Amino acid sequence: MAPIRVLVSGAYGRMGREVVKAVSAQPDMELVGAVDKAGVGKDACRTAGVEKTGVMISPDLSETISKTNPQVMVDFTTPLAVMENIRLAAEAGVAGVIGTTGLTKENLEEIARLAAKAGRAFLVAPNFAIGAILMMRFAAEAARFFPEVEIIELHHDKKIDAPSGTALKTVEAINSGRAGQQPPAKPSPLEKVKGARGGELSGVHIHSVRLPGLVAHQEVIFGGMGQTLTIRHDSLDRSSFMPGVLLAIRKVVKEKGFFNGLEAFLS
């Protein structure tokens, strides 16, 4: 079979470089295009620290799609750019693996419409680490037994959205595990410093930490009578996301429609 033709949008960024490196190492994939506003004219593989391929970084996604005819676009850009990138890909009949976070409910609804119209598959995932998916699955199970829970998510200082998409997805999993049961009512906190108790979503407090040196980390802390349970996942290197990204690429070329979360592709 011919290799899957992959274009990486955001190829000069930290995640984009990891995707370039991972895709170029797969015998069943071919890196055919690389797009970014930075690093224009540079060899995408050379910037990722692997042998050069002659795939140069271009600033124009539409032009690159037209010239390279990719089957899948992998996008790790910014919330400000990603929707236009998805529209261009869908219009060209290119499937999408979207790792850019900060998308709204309205954005997701639009992506679902674009996928249906294009007859292609689009996956949007806040986290591609298999361990993070398991963390959310375990949190949903624990929510059945523990009435109280808080989330602490920690990311690098260049991450611009807060809370993280993973934290928001974890709240969804917790609510699913509660099966409609409402969390116990809490008194309003007397905050001596505004925001000290973090943000609140569906009765779950979320605390966002942004510091240099971090990659992507999350603790889900449950509390019950006389005990606590902590479920934690740490991505120590961006390579931790690559098995999930590669899995998604292989899946979207075979599917149609919109998929929200990598767990849709995990049996």
The overall average pLDDT reported for the chain is 94
Residue with tokens 């808080």: 150
Of 21, 155, 207, 251, which one is the catalytic site residue?
Answer: 155
256 is annotated as an active-site residue: no
Cβ neighbour number for residue 63 with a 10 Å cutoff:
12
Class for domain 130-236, per CATH? alpha beta
Q: What sign does the CA torsion over 236, 215, 129, 45 have?
A: negative
Residue 120 to residues 17, 45, 58, 227, Cα–Cα distance (Å): 25, 27, 24, 47
Tell me the fold of 4-124+239-265. Answer: Rossmann fold (3.40.50)
- Is residue 211 within 8 A of residue 154, CB to CB? The reply is yes
233 is annotated as an active-site residue: no
Task: Output the pTM of the full model.
Answer: 0.86
Residue ranges in the chain modelled with pLDDT below 50: none
DSSP per-residue letters across 19-84:
HHHHHHT-TTEEEEEEE-SSSTTSBHHHHTTS---S-BEES-HHHHHHHH--SEEEE---TTTHHH
Q: How high is the pLDDT of residue 185?
A: 73
Could you state, in order of their start, the residue ranges of all structural domains in the chain?
Answer: 4-124+239-265, 130-236
Of 42, 156, 159, 205, which one is the catalytic site residue?
Answer: 159
> 4-124+239-265 with 130-236: one CATH topology?
no
pLDDT in tens, 12-57: 999 999 999 999 999 999 999 999 999 999 999 999 999 888 999 9
Residue 111 to residues 99, 105, 133, 188, 259, Cα–Cα distance (Å): 13, 10, 22, 37, 10
Q: How high is the pLDDT of residue 267?
A: 67
Q: How high is the pLDDT of residue 6?
A: 98
